[in-house]
Amino acid sequence: MKSTQSGLTVALTALAPAVWGSTYLITTELLPPDRPLLATTVRTLPGGLFLLALGRKIPVGVWWWRALVLGVLNIGAFNFLLFVAAYRLPGGIAAVIMSAQPMFVVILAAFFLGDRIRVVHALACVMGTGGVVLLVFDGAGSLDTAGVLAAVGGALCMASGIVLTKRWGRPEGVGLLTFTGWQLTAGGLVLLPCWLSLEDLPDRLTGSNVIGFAHLIVFGAVLSYIVWFRGIERLPTVAVSFLALGSPVVATLLGHLVMEQTPSVLQIAGMAVIFLAVVLGRPRPPEPKSEETPSAPARATDSHLPAP
């Protein structure tokens, strides 16, 4: 029964990276061009404010700064750095660098959560990175230093957000919807001044723009982050980090379906390697504890006790 529940939790949590994998296609096909900060702000802030209004509860005490930290790491800074890397790096190299995120999680979880670094997880990290390389790499190009730093920073933000969300948990009496709303709102508020100072509003919004923004808000933020934070609560930290590798797989598949392109042999191999990495990083049942039984000498000693 527990194994079935764990499998359902894994499947539900994996939906979040699957939805995030559609973000690139939605952005390029439906949203106004060259406005990444507008896209990320609209994606996060309205959904966060909606969940705050629904829950009618704001952070108290230490959770003011904890919610801000988690909102910046999981949402605000992560999304900003992700877009910077995507715009400045060629040939999917940003996705390759971002795929190092599980390795960062393994290291951070050892320091902050006391998790033991397992050989199988180290192997899965290498396989996951290699799989993404096969999936998206299409040749060498000149690497922009700022783009590389942004990709590494994005991977570190996501890894740190996963580990700290696991370490701090959720405050007592606060529901998952409200907890998600705190983080979306914090991340959106951090992005808001960046958008207002660096980008302008489009001249008009088309029907396609509205559909794209609605998808980002409802599916790309509210629903996906709810199941993602639920998964972090219920699954081992490292297992959650490997599920994020599904995002480039879905992005590639959607690109081929929409653009009517056939995946190459290397890309199919990359998907298979990523799948194996996720399987290796899956949650494992705890080892059964052996029941203690009285030792033979103790029973022998007891036999020499005088009868009552």
Residue 124 in contact with residue 87, Cβ under 8 Å?
A: no
Please check the confidence at residue 293 and state whether its pLDDT lies above 70: no
Which residues fall within 8 angstroms of residue 177, CB to CB, at 6 or more apart? 51, 54, 55, 226
Please check the confidence at residue 291 and state whether its pLDDT lies above 70: no
Which residues fall within 8 angstroms of residue 252, CB to CB, at 6 or more apart? 135, 136, 263, 267, 271
**Nearest of 81, 12, 25, 71 to residue 44 by alpha carbon:** 71
Please check the confidence at residue 137 and state whether its pLDDT lies above 80: no
* pTM score of the predicted model: 0.78
Residue 303 in contact with residue 292, Cβ under 8 Å?
A: no
Length of the chain: 308
* Residue 240, both tokens: 């959650």
- List pLDDT tens digits, range 169-216: 999 899 999 999 999 999 999 999 989 998 888 888 899 999 999 999
Per-domain boundaries in the chain: 2-286
* Residue 205, both tokens: 């919004």
What is the pLDDT, as a whole number, of residue 155? Answer: 85
* Residue 162, both tokens: 């996963």
Q: Sorting pLDDT into bands at 50, 70 and 90, what band is 306?
A: very low
Q: Sorting pLDDT into bands at 50, 70 and 90, what band is 142?
A: low
* Residue 104, both tokens: 């960062």
- List pLDDT tens digits, range 241-256: 888 878 777 877 777 7
Q: In the predicted model, what is the mean pLDDT of residues 290-300?
A: 43
Dist. CA 302–CA 127, nearest whole Å: 57
Dist. CA 126–CA 102, nearest whole Å: 9
Dist. CA 266–CA 268, nearest whole Å: 5
**Nearest of 21, 20, 46, 9 to residue 185 by alpha carbon:** 46
What is the pLDDT, as a whole number, of residue 63? Answer: 95
Dist. CA 233–CA 162, nearest whole Å: 10
